Amino acid sequence: MTAAEVQRVVQALRKAGVDVVALHNHMIGEKPAFYFTHFWGKGSVEELAKNLKAALDAQQAARDKGH
């Protein structure tokens, strides 16, 4: 994710009951900076897919807002 997308994605994951266990970037000095998240969720495949879709939708909303 870009910095502008991080908050929305993390909030969507937390709202869905998915635990964010790490947030970091590997690329020092790159522009734009990209962030990676590690997360943990439990539940049925369908429920987890729905929760991840909500996070992806939040990421897209942040991108749309940025344009």
Domain around 13: 3-66
Domains of the chain: total: 1
Q: Which tokens hold the place of 49?
A: 């897919």
pLDDT (average), residues 2-9: 94
> Between residues 27 and 49, which one has the greater pLDDT?
49
> Between residues 65 and 57, which one has the greater pLDDT?
57
Distance CA 4, CA 29 (A): 17
Confidence at residue 32, expressed as pLDDT on a 0 to 100 scale: 87
Closest CA to 39 of 50, 55, 59, 60: 55
CB 35 within 8 A of CB 23: yes
The alpha-helical segments, DSSP class H, found in 3-67 are 3-15, 45-66
pTM: 0.83
pLDDT of 66 above 80: no
Q: Which tokens hold the place of 64?
A: 């749309």
pLDDT in tens, 14-48: 999 999 999 999 888 888 889 999 999 999 999 99
Say which CATH number the domain at 48 has. Answer: 3.30.70
